[in-house]
Copies of this chain bind each other. A is one copy, B any other.
């Protein structure tokens, strides 16, 4: 692994576990076993480093989302979306943590993520799924669903038990089926 990649990797770990603001570039350098100056050669600044981490991570997530977007059956859409946080966290626990941290901590970031519309297509897909399922108030049902999904995403950060996670998914799914 080259040094730039190593910086990205270490920074992701630290940002996820300690938060972005709380992580100094000097610590990143130390753990990545590079000089602190090198960080600023490869990235414009600390925020630039964060942005590159985010881009990389989102790219890795995209296939999972595309899978959902390609699905036709509403029940399956609901299920796959519920499964999404679990799948992401299995493959990219650190990144998921970072994402949830930033989402929460930083209003601007949350808006960017919405405006950037990375998750917007998924949002529409879910809305339509609940319409197809003939819920009397599909929009509210989707809202409730995303509330639960957010809670589940947070839950997973602290609770790694795979079996239990899938039981929860089943249980939640039941509540959003007809």
Q: Is A66 an interface residue (CB 8 A)?
A: no
Q: Is A25 an interface residue (CB 8 A)?
A: no
**In chain A between 74 and 130, which residues have their CB closer than 8 angstroms to a CB of chain B?**
100-101, 104-105, 107, 110
**In chain A between 142 and 165, which residues have their CB closer than 8 angstroms to a CB of chain B?**
143-144, 146-152, 154-155, 158
- Which residues of the other chain, B, contact A168 by a CB distance below 8 angstroms? 140, 143-144, 147
One complex includes copies of this chain to the number of: 2
The 10 closest A-B pairs by CB, nearest first: A151-B151, A147-B151, A150-B151, A175-B175, A104-B104, A148-B148, A21-B21, A147-B155, A144-B171, A147-B152
- Interface CB pairs A-B, < 8 A, 15: A19-B21, A21-B21, A101-B105, A104-B104, A110-B158, A137-B171, A141-B171, A143-B168, A144-B168, A147-B148, A147-B151, A148-B148, A150-B150, A151-B154, A175-B176
**Residues in A lying within 8 Å of B, measured CB to CB:** 19, 21-22, 100-101, 104-105, 107, 110, 137, 140-141, 143-144, 146-152, 154-155, 158, 167-168, 171-172, 175-176
